[in-house]
Structure 1
């Protein structure tokens, strides 16, 4: 299919004797926003890490634009797949602009000036043009996460992965990060998001996937999973998550 960007095909992954992913399969088309939900330990973050090869799989395959990610050069994969981590992963000794421009110079081969100009533009895109010279310790958690988003966007990826991007934030800072993510979704960015923020899932997701015990229990559009879930476990989990984190 020409619109298909990502295919996860029968993926198994283990840590030692612990089987974490048990035959996960799903597809994503360009401009899809798919949200992964599930209990702690269900394999959500591991699934993201497998897609960009921070974690190797035991069986199955993951294809990006029809090519196995395991046949791609690591730098090429980093260009194509951006990742935003829950704990920001910024370099403390670099400014916001330097954090964003570093990958452009090392992976994309930009000159220092080209990388700085691109980094400044991406910081402006996430509302941080005035913080380009600030160090992470001088930024709020929400601002640090937006620098992390700008860093990933600067590589011009085909796919953005978000691993619980608001879980380390104080409640009053969550909204500014979710707003950037909503804007990216509206712009047509293809996104795979692990999150407990059900308001974002209802508003921005094209599909929601419910994982439990390493298996994909149910997969469908938000209105189906929230209003007419086929699996009783899906219904109880989403109901509890909505009560805890809000669904408006």
Structure 2
């Protein structure tokens, strides 16, 4: 991997690339589009943030290989948290990461479709999708009963958890529906569960990624905002 400029590293291609040659951009949400890991912030309301954050960090570094099990363990610790705590997380703690609006806007202006595919929760992803005007989104659904979390996830027709394999499958499915090759997709993420979708995309971007992600991404943004990708994509 070579250094393009301080904090910006490239692997396997010569910049610049033409943004309009791509047709789809897929984003992870937590710590990529937004500044927080939502499950950790919800856990703070239950007084269990340290315990949940430790599992999150191990999963994102790839030290826990069964992402589904790690998420079920974390969600179970949220049992009894009131739904109002999720509103508080969104309103008080959730912010878009620097450069996200600029980069997403540039992709949209170039005609790319936009996909949010997250191991997080629809309570937040639906709001982020609307806020950024994204085309598609897939995430996990927290089960709620009488205004509190049950500590379980809701089964969906495709399964119950968006893990790395599901992220890859969704990206490939959207490419097929659009009639494009996966090489015409960009995938942006930061954690180990983003590697499967990044591996099939024509351009993989690590945004302040964990070491394993930085090491495998074609473009690694390690300082500054997501709009630094536009130094490579014209």
TM-score normalized by structure 1? Answer: 0.29
Query: Highest Rg: 1 or 2?
Result: 1
Which structure is higher in RCO with an 8 Å CA cutoff and minimum separation 6? 2
Tell me which protein shows more strand as a share of its residues: 1
